[in-house]
Structure 1
């Protein structure tokens, strides 16, 4: 049963890696798609974690997985900065029409 819990962490890591690969390709629609998949997996993980625990060796693996996820996230944010700046500039003059 605990093995299933660690599988959620692995799936989230995989999705974050797919997000990073999409960001490297500047495929922001795919980034958003994988971000949504991560959100669903995180909610499922939260539900499962309320009733299950990881074994000690799985907790160590979880720590390594979480470090890789955080590294992927940092790289995605770095790659997204120019795109976000471009979006902000594109909407700068149009903000008066949004109110």
Structure 2
């Protein structure tokens, strides 16, 4: 998703975002009631931190694009890219 944003491929970003949403929901369902080992918790933390770093970079790249859409009246100012 980040690579698509770096290339200003916003359609690609949207496709990846939709795919990520499906995968996240599946992971949530599978993790219900599951106990993680210490190593698994560490790995989960590492992955989450990586996702947050990528998300922050993506937002920096998307802000001008979102501002353009807001100016055109197509996206409310309170909208957020997830």
TM-score, normalised with respect to structure 2: 0.84
**Cα RMSD between the aligned structures?**
1.2
**CA deviations over 1:60-87 (Å, ceiling 9, x no partner):** 0111110000000001011000000111
TM-score, normalised with respect to structure 1: 0.70
Give the CA deviation at 1:91: 2.3
Structure 1 gaps of 5+ residues are 1-18, 93-99
* Structure with a larger share of its residues in helix: 1
Greater Rg over alpha carbons, structure? 1
Question: 1:28 is matched with which residue?
Answer: 10
- Structure 1 segment 1-99 matched on structure 2, within 5 A: 19-91=1-73
Structure 2 gaps of 5+ residues are 75-82
Give the CA deviation at 1:40: 0.4
How many pairs does the alignment contain?
Answer: 74
Does the residue aligned with 2:73 lie in a helix, a strand or coil? helix
